[in-house]
Amino acid sequence: MDPISVAVEHNEQYVGRHGTRHLPTEPAKHLAVVTCMDSRLDLFGALGLDLGEAHIIRNAGGIATDDVVRSLVLSQRMLGTDRIMLIHHSRCGLEGLNEEGLRTSIAEETGVRSEMAFGSFTDPAANVRVTAKRLDAEHALRHVEVRGFVFDVDTGSLHEVELTTD
């Protein structure tokens, strides 16, 4: 059976365990987490979160793209979050990515050259700082507590990154 069909079948079993919950739209812990889409990150388990407690905003690399910023603005201004946790991780697929090589591969396959920025980096902790600076520069965001971390995908541990304010 294909993975989507398996997921749909699993959902039928999940409904019985989930029960009926009428959770508020606003996250109970007023927390927004910006992180990577990597399938090795179980943030609910690693952070002790339950449904309805935090907004989890994910993309490749956990970088502060325009869409992440848009999501955070809505999270803060419409849904009451007042702290942001940035979580990047070890062994990320973007770490050391050859963006030019990827663009060439896409062009060879499609006949169209992409100028997309993929967000490659060499140091996860430094990239957390880059993300924090991007958020700090965004006027539409409220300046709230922001803390950054690198998650070790092999051990599950978080390592805090000192964020500098320039």
Q: Give the pLDDT score at 39.
A: 96
For 137, counting Cβ atoms within 10 Å of its Cβ (0-12 exposed, 13-18 middle, 19+ buried), the class is exposed
Given this model, what pLDDT does residue 74 score? 98
| pLDDT at residue 135, as a whole number | 97
Per-residue HEC secondary structure of 62-94 comes to HCCCHHHHHHHHHHHHHHCCCEEEEEEECCCCC
Q: What percent of the chain has pLDDT over 70?
A: 99
Mean pLDDT of 123-135: 97
Closest CA to 30 of 149, 142, 160: 142
pLDDT surpasses 80 at 65: yes
Under CATH, what is the fold of the domain 23-161?
A: Beta-carbonic Anhydrase; Chain A (3.40.1050)
> Whole-number mean pLDDT of the chain?
95
